[in-house]
Amino acid sequence: MTTPSAPEPVPVPIRVLLPGDQEVVAHLWSRRQARDGWRYEVGLPAYRNGPEGTVEPAEYRVWVRAPQHVRPVDGVSYDAVPTEYLAPPSPVQETLGPRRPSGWVLVKAGGRGPGRGGVVHAVDCEEAPAGAPVLTLERALDAAEQPGVRLCSLCGAAAELDPVLKGFDHGFEET
């Protein structure tokens, strides 16, 4: 998303939850998607000692977990924060935004009835078998549209994918 001529990023304020139930407004420099969630690169306000006993303002930079360790500041837009995805974001992923799970799993099932074509789970669902191939969002949506495939309601699959499927249907109706 960044171009070689992109200007130097300007950090935006974000609240960081510190150990010991404290909270501080820090700089958010960038964020990056990891397999198990998100990491936000924050700059915490601090002091450091300079030469001859001086004290100067400083910034302590650290990667923290999101959303566990951060809270948005009211009125601040985080749209322009440099963001690194696991894979390049597609239009579908951008629709869902950064809160989506990092993958999906299709569990094949035999037999008849609803779910005979399989069940789509978020990759971290208890019912998703370990080692199953992880699907991208597009592949999961494709799978979800096959007859007999249902979305697991235990994990985020139904809640996350249903609105996307319905949202796109709606979009097609309008064109």
Q: Decide if residue 162 touches Zn ion (CB under 5 A).
A: no
Cα-based distances in Å from 172 to 34, 142, 155: 33, 16, 28
Our CB check for Zn ion shows the closer of 81 and 140 to be 140
In the complex, minimum distance from the CB of residue 53 to Zn ion, in angstroms, rounded to a whole number: 59
Mutual angle of helices 157-174 and 137-144, in 10-degree steps: 80
In the complex, minimum distance from the CB of residue 84 to Zn ion, in angstroms, rounded to a whole number: 27
Are the C-beta atoms of 123 and 100 separated by less than 8 Å?
Answer: no
Which segment (50-58, 60-68, 71-79, 155-163) binds Zn ion by CB under 5 A?
A: 155-163
Q: Decide if residue 144 touches Zn ion (CB under 5 A).
A: no
In the complex, minimum distance from the CB of residue 157 to Zn ion, in angstroms, rounded to a whole number: 5
Q: Decide if residue 152 touches Zn ion (CB under 5 A).
A: yes
Instruction: Give residues 123-142 in contact with Zn ion (rule: CB under 5 A).
Output: 125, 127
Query: What number of other Cβ atoms are within 10 A of residue 63's Cβ?
Result: 16
In the complex, minimum distance from the CB of residue 126 to Zn ion, in angstroms, rounded to a whole number: 7
Assigned token pair, 105: 């799993």
Hunting for tokens 């009211």 — which residue is that? 74
Q: Decide if residue 158 touches Zn ion (CB under 5 A).
A: no
Q: Are strands 70-71 and 12-18 parallel, antiparallel or unpaired?
A: antiparallel
Site residues (vs Zn ion, CB under 5 A): 121, 125, 127, 152, 154-155
